[in-house]
Chains A and B, each alone.
Chain A
Amino acid sequence: QKEVEQDPGPLSVPEGAIVSLNCTYSNSAFQYFMWYRQYSRKGPELLMYTYSSGNKEDGRFTAQVDKSSKYISLFIRDSQPSDSATYLCAMSAPPNEKLTFGTGTRLTIIP
Chain B
Amino acid sequence: DADVTQTPRNRITKTGKRIMLECSQTKGHDRMYWYRQDPGLGLQLIYYSFDVKDINKGEISDGYSVSRQAQAKFSLSLESAIPNQTALYFCATSDETSDANTGELFFGEGSRLTVL
Question: A: which residues have CB within 8 A of B?
Answer: 6, 8, 32, 34, 36, 41-46, 49, 88, 92, 95-99, 101-104
Contact = CB atoms under 8 A, between A and B. Distances in A.
B105 interface: yes
Interface of B: 4, 31, 40-43, 45, 48, 58, 90, 92, 94, 96, 98, 100-105, 107-110
B42 A34 contact: no
A34 B110 contact: no
14 contacts: A34-B102, A36-B105, A41-B109, A41-B110, A43-B90, A43-B108, A43-B110, A46-B105, A88-B43, A92-B103, A96-B31, A96-B98, A96-B103, A101-B42
Contacts, number: 54
A88 to B, nearest CB: 7
A99 B105 CA distance: 9
Contact of B42 (A42, A95, A97, A102): A102
Contacts of A98: 45, 48, 58
